Structure 1
Amino acid sequence: MIRDAREEDLPALLALYHQLSARDPATVSERHRAAWAALARQDITRILVAENGGEVVGTLALSIIPNLTRDARPYALIENVVTCEERRGQGIGRRLLEEAERLARDREAYKLMLMSGNVRGEAHAFYRRCGFNGETKTAFEKRLA
């Protein structure tokens, strides 16, 4: 089942994010609670979770961003895609991405983007199998911290 994350999912979300990057803490802090409260007050970013048997086994963040180009149609951005290590290869990530696409289409977004670390070849192959094209755009980033 794919659903919007709830505040009580924070420990499970942080455990997943820790699997994505060991630098991310696996325990909930006040900073996390403040970020959750900020997310709850806005309508641009949604945190989706995949739940199986009451357990959160995957997640992604979907932002649908207002835009002035493309006839003022928004664009959508996916971040923080992660499936529990023990559950990978079971279609969970694909179902999360399909739901993100459905939500973006429902809001008439003209494109859906995601970025992935440049050394994550297995993830890149997965995204291609899900219909994402890694050849049409070049991503740039500037780390601020």
Structure 2
Amino acid sequence: MMGCAIRLATIRDAIALQDIYTHLNPDDPAVSPAQFEQDLAKLLDDPDRQIIVAEMDGLIVASCTLFILPNLTRGNRPMALIENVVTHKQYRRMGLGKRVLHDAFARAEKAGCYKVMLLTGSTTQGTLDFYLEAGLTQDKTGFQKRL
């Protein structure tokens, strides 16, 4: 796609990231820009936590967060978790979400991960189809406890 770059987020992206996350969870509690930037800096300080973004014409239009997790099975190969997959509402159905996911998959593979996990709370068929089309399979049961 012309004019679109897939890259890792930097601290300079704090305002844009805070904005795009409103397209994921509009009812999230408000966080001050200073607190968001401070928490982003902590996240970005760890090379095993990466935020992958699609930037188009200077605007972050899609993003996901990749966590590389140490593991003591599967030959001690790490595993990866993807969270906070979001595309700006005006840029959906353009393949941008899949591009950030595919970048995350490649980074996980390069890190030696034996699997990538992603959970969604969505039951919307279009969202589920999106993940299947991106190359994920729905073959495990997920559980969570909200704290």
| 1:137 counterpart (123, 135, 140) | 140
Matches within 5 A, 1:56-75: 56-75=60-79
Matched, 1:55 2:82: no
Question: Which residue pairs with 1:40 in the alignment?
Answer: 44
Matched, 1:22 2:21: no
Q: 1:121 Cα shift?
A: 2.4
- Structure 1 residue ranges (4+ consecutive) displaced by more than 2 angstroms after TM superposition: 24-31, 118-121
Number of positions where the alignment pairs a residue of Structure 1 with one of Structure 2: 143
Deviations 1:19-54 (A, max 9, x none): 111122576433312211211321221011100111
Q: For the residues of structure 2 that align with 1:89 and 1:40, how far apart are their CA atoms?
A: 28
Amino-acid identity (%): 40
Q: For the residues of structure 2 that align with 1:58 and 1:118, how far apart are their CA atoms?
A: 18
Q: For the residues of structure 2 that align with 1:80 and 1:23, how far apart are their CA atoms?
A: 14
C-alpha root-mean-square deviation of aligned residues, in Å? 1.5
SS in 1 for 2:18: helix
Unaligned runs of 5+ in 2: none
**TM-score (structure 1 length as normaliser):** 0.92
**TM-score (structure 2 length as normaliser):** 0.91
Contact persistence 1:76–1:104 (CA under 8 A): yes
Question: Which residue pairs with 1:108 in the alignment?
Answer: 112
Question: Which residue pairs with 2:9 in the alignment?
Answer: 5
Matched to 1:23, the amino acid is: D
